[in-house]
Amino acid sequence: MKITTLALAALVSFAPVQSAVAADAADAAASDDSLSLSPRFLKDERSLTQGSVTVGGQKLDYQAEAGLLVVHLSDPMDADPPLPKGEREGPLPPQQPEAAMSYVAYFKGKAADPRRPLTFIFNGGPGSSTMWLHMGAFGPKRVITLTDRHTPPAPYRITNNDYSLLDASDLVFIDAPGTGFGHLRGKDKEKAFFGVDPDADAFANFIEEFISRHGRWNSPKFIFGESYGTTRAAVLARVLQDKHRIDLNGVIFLSQILSFDNSVDEPQFNPGVDQSYALALPTYAASAWYHKRLPEPRAELAPFLKEVEAFALGDYLTALAAGAKLDAARRATVAQQLHRYTGLPLDYIERANLRINGGEFDKTLLGSDLTAGRLDSRFSGPTLDPLSQEAQYDPQASAISSAYVSAYNEYVRGTLKFGEGKRFKAFASLWRTWDYLHQPPGAGTKVQSATNVMPDLAVAMQRNPNLKVQMHGGYYDLATPYFAAEYELSQLPIQASLQANIETHLYESGHMVYARDADLKALHDSTAAFIRKASNDGG
């Protein structure tokens, strides 16, 4: 889980970049009525425009390229093309899976400079397009939304983005397969692209093809992922090294989740693994502080959270680990402390066995009539069912989604001149078919456990010891709690010296740190400085 006027340019399409398989199959289909209903083969498209954005008081001219780029599971030229109709028996073999991934790229200046840094940016989900980071954080235009309340319906305000990252890097915003304007084709296409590992392969193939077409092999390269996009980024960094021999200069995480055992969404289904409750506690405390629900008010947030963090990994986690062996007196002491830190009723905490998941916290914090936000707990909205155990929706997502979808559709169609005759998919219901199993480096097969890509990031950092990592998190993010992100980075199986390659930045914001202007500026400044340093020192 936001525009300067651009000069208009005519729609320009790439010549279709099809494999020999695709070309021969298309020719055969055209001459064989029995194949008229077979899936159509995808093709590359692009629209070129020009514009300008003012960042830090400086006007920056840029070229924009919006389009579709077709990627395959492997190099399609490695496969033998099907025989022409007159030389074969029976129908054509099944079409191989392919995905047309939609993207928007921005290149500073009147002509692209191959020496500039190049940053590939994506949201997560899985199943989310990248309109959030595009229209909210780093694109040349952004949509203005309220920071803790529901944004009123259209018309929405779309404005110059004073904090576009284009001052530090050329930018490529990539929509995941099946989202944005993209499509999937071929046999078992969902299985081919919807999963931790195939998704990372698709992005790696996209990046290699993009830098080849645009002559950017020798540019400093970065990837920026938000939410599940951080999970993807950890795998992608390793895949680019292992399969494509592409070393990155830096990996940037926003609202990080690398190990899903640390998620507080449904830890009740994983009894015996209690650390997610402890790692979420500082975010519970920050949320209670913001909404003035603490029984003992605290003046400042930061020192309060340091106190909560120490309790979370100390007395609280130890008490949870004791399980049924926890004595009554100690249990009562811990429950009382949880009440002081979260504002939740003491009897509720005791009945919950000291374990409150994220949905229960959202539903309970503000009483029976209001539900707190998951992506950003500063938001709240009417409770749909006062008798429900957990929150039934996310007030923050409801508060801003329409603004983002409307603003992006108006911008990409009207300004970037792309999308005519196409439907933009802000989200795709990938969780029904998504394969969360992952084969970490060194394993002979996929591991039958919750997704954990910490080994991927560790191996990427070890094999490329110049790789820099930057993490950004919000105190009010209940989807990917900031303390869990810090914990993951501190637990990476890497040499102590490589920990110096990691830097973290925390904000008084939620999952989408950029939703508040002051935090967006800080996010821009720290990210731009990170890119400049990692580009100049070769790491």
Position 13, amino acid: S
From the centroid of its chain, how far is CA 462? 24
Distance (Å) of CA 501 to CA 23, 51, 120, 242, 455: 47, 36, 20, 20, 16
Look at residue 417 in the predicted model and tell me its pLDDT. Answer: 96
Eight-class DSSP state of 136: I
**If you write DSSP's letter for every residue of 349-387 in order, what string do you get?**
HHHTTT---HHHHHHHTT-SSEEE-SS-TT-EEE-S-TT
Look at residue 102 in the predicted model and tell me its pLDDT. Answer: 96
What does the alpha-carbon distance between residue 310 and residue 175 come to, in Å, rounded to a whole number?
Answer: 39
Cβ atoms of 79 and 94 closer than 8 Å: no
Look at residue 9 in the predicted model and tell me its pLDDT. Answer: 26
Give me the domains of the chain, ranges plus CATH numbers: 110-261+400-536 (3.40.50.1820), 272-356 (no CATH)
Angle (CA) 209 214 220, round 5°: 90
Look at residue 347 in the predicted model and tell me its pLDDT. Answer: 97
Name the token pair of 142: 């952004």
Q: What residues of the chain score a pLDDT lower than 70?
A: 1-41, 74-94, 537-539
**Nearest Cα to Cα of residue 129 among 351, 315, 405, 485:** 405
Q: What is the 3-state secondary structure (H, E, C) of 220-283?
A: CEEEEEEEHHHHHHHHHHHHHHHHHCCCCCEEEEEEECCEHHHCCCCHHHCCCCCHHHHHHHHH
Position 144, amino acid: I
Look at residue 465 in the predicted model and tell me its pLDDT. Answer: 97
Name the token pair of 328: 């009554």
Look at residue 10 in the predicted model and tell me its pLDDT. Answer: 24
Cβ atoms of 441 and 453 closer than 8 Å: no
Look at residue 192 in the predicted model and tell me its pLDDT. Answer: 85
